[in-house]
Structure formats: structure tokens, C-alpha cells
Amino acid sequence: MTEVVVRGNPGSLIQLDQCQKCGGIWCDKWELFPVDFSEADRLEPMDEKRLREAVKLPAKKLDCPRCADELHVFADPILPKDIQLSRCRHCDGIWLNRGQFHRYKDFQRHTREAKMDETSLLRQLSKKLINPEAWVLTGTKGLYAYPRGEEESDETVKQSVSGAAKLIVETLVRTILGL
């Protein structure tokens, strides 16, 4: 497989893997969803008519290119029947046969357009761009940086440490006394 870099939302770059033989695309955990819609045209530029036709997944067993676990067809009731994704249950990566990536991104774009008008989209995008802490970064092994959560107070940390210490001492006393 060859590494291909695509634009993500908002303004990040995501590294996907594409098979040069069959045109299929491998997305590590969380890489499929933020990819920009226009990237589908660039990744699957072959025969457009053929790409848009629904293709059944092969009957042969497919293995995950990351962990060699078996891939399973992912059935989501929200997705149209012509979009067939194979998912690794171990590392959560997703395999898309040639044409599936384009169909998925078209479905994602139409769903977003139906739910939001252009003004709402621009308003949300401008909020995200202003606040870099809300950005999600992805890499070749999937999601590795999350938006920062709230910091825990010192009191919460003290309670957690004292609770853990108490549990350890109780376990040791029970082990020694044979309870």
C-alpha cells in the first residue's frame, strides 16, 4: 500500500493508505470521518461511472493490514446499503473497496448539507478555526490528540490517591490475615 496525504477538517493533514493494485483505501481509527469531501475525487479519479456503481465485497476473507485480525463487514443502519465498509474489531481501522470512499464522502456531504445551511457551516467553521484547542489531530496510527478536557482539582486527585492507598492496605491486611 502507498501512503497518501489528504486534507482533513479543519485544515489538518491525514495520512491514509491506498492499494495501488485494487484502489482500496485503509483508514486507521478516526481517519475516515474528518477527511474533506473533495479529496474523494482526487483519491479515486479512475473511471467515474465504474466507481459510482455498487460493488459487493469479495467473499474471501480480508485481513487488517495493521494487526492481521479478520475484517468484518460493518453494517450501520444510517448508511445506505450501497456503502459497504469492512472494519477491524481489534484496532478499529476501516477498509473501503475502490469507490466506497467516494460514496461515503458523498453521503456525508449530502447529510451535512441537509442539516445545515451555508451560513451555519461558516459560523461553526470560524469558531473552530479561532480555537485551536478544539482541533482534533490525526496520524497514521489513528487519533492521538484529543481536545483538552477540564483539569481535575487537587481535591479530586487527593481523594483518588487516598482511596487507592486505602484499598491497597485493606487488600494486604486481608491477605495477611487470610480473610
Mean pLDDT by 10 residues, the chain (179 residues): 84 85 86 85 68 63 84 83 86 87 88 75 72 57 49 76 88 85
Residue 84 near residue 72, CB atoms below 8 Å: no
Contacts of 177 (CB under 8 A, 6+ apart): none
Q: Which amino acid is at 85?
A: L
Structure confidence at residue 133 (pLDDT): 61
* Cβ proximity of 98 and 44 under 8 Å: yes
pLDDT value of residue 150: 59
3-class state of residue 117 by DSSP: coil
The pLDDT, as a whole number, for residue 76 is 81
What is residue 114's predicted lDDT score, i.e. its pLDDT? 77
Residue 145: predicted pLDDT: 46
Cβ atoms 67, 88 nearer than 8 A: yes
DSSP string covering 25-82 = EEE-TT-STTB-TTHHHHH--S-HHHHHS--PPPSS--B-TTT-PBEEEE--TTS-TT
